[in-house]
Amino acid sequence: MTEFYLVLIETSGNQNFIFSTNRLRENIGASELTYQAGTYWVVQAVATQNKEILTKDWRKPEQFRQILRDDNPPLENSNRKAEIIVAASGKALILAKDKCTAKAIISEVTRKALIEAPGLDIAGVYESFTWSKDNSHSLSQTIKKVHKKFEKVRSRRPSPENRFLRLPIVASCAVSGLPASQIDTLGKKQKLISQVSFVKCDIARKAQERLTNLDKRLQKQIDQLLREEDSKEEKRSWLAVVHADGNGLGQIFLNFEKYIGTDKSPRNYINKYREFSLSLDECTEAAFKAALDVFPEEENIKNKTAAPIVPLIIGGDDLTVVCDGQYALEFTKVFLRKFETQTKNKQAIKEIAQQAFSTDYLSACAGVAIVKRHFPFSIAYELAEDLIKSAKTVKKKVTKQGDKNTPFPCSAIDFHILYDTSSIDLKDIREKLQPEKYTKLYNRPYVVTSPETGKIEAKHSPDKEDIGGDWIEPRKWEVLTKWVKFINRESKPLPSSQAHALRTALFLGKKEAESQVQLIQNRYEEFKIFLKDVPLFREEKSEDDKEQVKNYQITSFLDALDAMEFLENNQTNQSYSKAEEAV
């Protein structure tokens, strides 16, 4: 038996670092620094310890993954000092032969961060373990230990903000509030900015190069947004922060040893772990590229330029983008469906998914916060995070047949269009949509899983316990689109004045809303026919604040009224055919 060392290097406070200002150029640059910290810098540090020269163009995502697969030989059978297990945006796991190598890798990466990424919070820890050829349990347990150790170390470290003290007194940065040290010449007017802002803006160009390697269309999309920002043009009213995250991945990585098959050797564990992580990267990127078809590439009607999108985080099972709000919901729907399809086509993922969930694919959930152009991105991201937590209730509601504790892979979206900025907390927003204790004027989240990709095998398990079929049926994405298409049809079967009258009545309570519906039905026969297929209210059993099961009255009408501008309009209709082809 041999003693090896497991090294974990990870960034913290990524949200604050990326969204600390409302300048997209800085957001892009901060995202690039976070990405490089877990990928390029780690590869360079490991190459230094192995006394190798990097010759391949590892700045391209495909080439980088090829290095990890092909130029990363098993540590136990080579003369190298270190082997990369996982290297992703903001996180890396490395296998080292001795303590000195482990320390040297952490030292090189963190020193580089201090010099090239001021303000980035990054740290590294290591843990020793015994390498046994036939048993991966020691490695599996060490991965858990090293993550716990990292949390302890992170809690004891001082904040990166302590590096930017205000004594002696200096001028403030125009965008971040940190002490100024540079002059920004990008805009029409020169202004003082901090070293942090300067570095982020400076690295943004390299970020554009990397993202253009991912998809050439992004060059035009990103340039458009940055041009608008620099010139202060008001070309679009709404921007969206979209945050998507895979379902059940925490469970998979926590119990990965269970899903690797009969070969429980540490080498098989590492190979499966690495290939699973790399395959997730490829699936997320492929799904993202397919969803780009939602956006028009050329100028469209009313002299509006191509709708922009900027991916800030794209890797593993995570996606965070800033995009034109008009296209955000359709983009997110296509991304989630394509993610399911891509994971189904990857053997490394398919094998693990079958062991973990008895299906051959993975799913994801997304939160979409659509806000006005100058609304703070940091708050919009927090709202998107709350929305994704709401969407992930699907994991508890839709479960594996015969095992109510295991989620059934099912993708869902929760969204909010922030018309009123007086309430930015999702809990407060949703409370205002409950005019009565057991009446909800929202039906979110909506399930977007394609019927051909995955479906609930039965509404109830053999012991008659509901496993999600009853919950999922009224929340299908098609329910929302039915309402939107009906309200927004050119023939106007439900005029805007009547729709808004019904909206007002809903906030007065269920009885008032039903009375208003009766008045409208007498005047508009099409509405009466529509309600027979899609009723205004539906009844659902759910737990209240005291965890008592009650009958709730729920409607999708307000969801559709909010979303119709972002689902059914002249712009998005042009992209529907492309989006459906992508799915």
Angle between helices 266-291 and 347-357 (to 10 degrees): 110
Mean pLDDT across the stretch 204-224? 85
**366 in the same domain as 259:** yes
Identify the weakest region by mean pLDDT among 77-86, 257-266, 454-463: 454-463
Domain contains 539: no
Q: Find the mean pLDDT for residues 347-355.
A: 93
Q: Is residue 433 part of a domain?
A: no
**Do 275 and 405 have their domain in common?**
yes
pLDDT at 572: 44
Verify that 262 and 391 share a domain, yes or no. Answer: yes
Which residue type does 513 have? A
Whether 263 is in a domain gets the answer: yes
* Domain encompassing residue 36: 2-160
Residues whose CB falls within 8 Å of the CB of residue 216, separated by 6 or more in sequence, listed in order: none
472 lies in a domain? no
pLDDT at 581: 43
Strand ranges (E), 354-462: 364-372, 399-400, 403-407, 412-417, 439-440, 446-447
Q: Which residues of 428-462 are buried (b: 16+ CB within 10 A; e: fewer)?
A: ebbeebebeeebbbbbbbbbbbeeebbebeeeebe
Domain boundary, last residue among 160, 180, 201: 160
Indicate if 32 and 121 belong to the same structural domain: yes
Q: Averaged over 460-482, what is the pLDDT?
A: 79
Q: At what angle do helices 266-291 and 570-582 cross, to 10 degrees?
A: 140
Same domain for 240 and 141?
no
CATH of the domain at 100: 3.30.70.2220
Most confident of 99-108, 297-306, 311-320, 478-487: 99-108
Is 66 part of any domain?
Answer: yes
What local confidence, expressed as pLDDT, does residue 579 receive? 38
Helices (H) and strands (E) in the chain, counts: 22, 17
pLDDT(471) > 60: yes
Q: Which of 49-58, 417-426, 435-444, 461-470 has the lowest mean pLDDT?
A: 461-470
Which of 122, 118, 140 shows the shortest CA–CA distance to 131?
A: 140
374 three-class SS: coil
* Domain's final residue, options 427, 444, 463: 427
Q: Do 223 and 153 sit in the same domain of this protein?
A: no
Using an 8 Å Cβ cutoff, are 123 and 157 in contact?
yes
* Residues 257 and 149 reside in one and the same domain: no
For the stretch 38-47, pLDDT in tens is 999 999 999 9
Nearest to 332 by CA among 579, 557, 18, 569: 579
CA 81 to the chain's CA centroid: 35
The answer to whether 14 and 88 have CB atoms below 8 angstroms apart is no
Query: What's the CATH number where 413 sits?
Result: 3.30.70.270
**DSSP run (H or E) holding 311:** strand 309-315
So what's the pLDDT on residue 367? 97
Per-residue model confidence (pLDDT) at position 188 = 65
**Domain contains 64:** yes
Instruction: Give 307's pLDDT tier (boundaries 50, 70, 90).
Output: low
Residue 372 reports pLDDT greater than 80: yes
Closest CA to 119 of 162, 84, 90, 153: 162
Q: What are phi and psi of 268, to 5 degrees?
A: -65, -40
Q: Same domain for 259 and 388?
A: yes
pLDDT at 474 > cutoff 70:
yes
CB 129 within 8 A of CB 139: yes
- According to the model, what pLDDT value does residue 58 have? 67
Of 48-57, 188-197, 434-443, minimum mean pLDDT range: 48-57
Same domain, 346 and 240: yes
Residue 566 lies in a domain: no
Q: Is pLDDT at 582 greater than 50 in this prediction?
A: no
**Residue 502: predicted pLDDT:** 94
In a domain, 526, yes or no: no
pLDDT band at residue 206 under the 50/70/90 scheme: confident
Which has more confidence, 567 or 268?
A: 268
**Beta-carbon count within 10 A of 224 CB:** 20
pLDDT score, position 465: 61
pLDDT of residue 456: 58
Domain closes at, from 132, 160, 188: 160
Mean pLDDT along residues 419-443: 91
Cα 339–Cα 345–Cα 350 angle in degrees, nearest 5: 95
CA 532 vs. chain centroid, Å, equals 37
Number of compact structural domains in the chain: 2
Residues 249 and 386 in one domain: yes
Mean pLDDT score across all residues of the chain: 86
More confident of the two residues 576 and 506: 506
Least confident of 39-48, 349-358, 418-427: 418-427
pLDDT at residue 576 tops 50 = no
Percent of the chain predicted with pLDDT > 90: 52
User: Mean pLDDT throughout 82-110?
Assistant: 96
Question: Based on the domain organization, do 102 and 219 belong to the same domain?
Answer: no
Exposure string over 362-388, b if 16+ CB within 10 A, otherwise e: bbbbbbbbbbeeebebbbbbbbbbbbb
- Is the CA virtual torsion 67, 68, 74, 75 positive or negative? positive
Residue 1: pLDDT above 90? no
Considering the domain architecture, whether residues 292 and 406 belong to the same structural domain is answered as yes
Helix axes 61-70, 266-291, angle to 10 degrees: 170
Statement: residue 541 has pLDDT above 50:
yes
128-173 pLDDT, tens digit per residue, is: 999 988 777 889 999 999 999 999 999 988 888 788 877 777 888 8
Q: What pLDDT score does 246 carry? A: 94
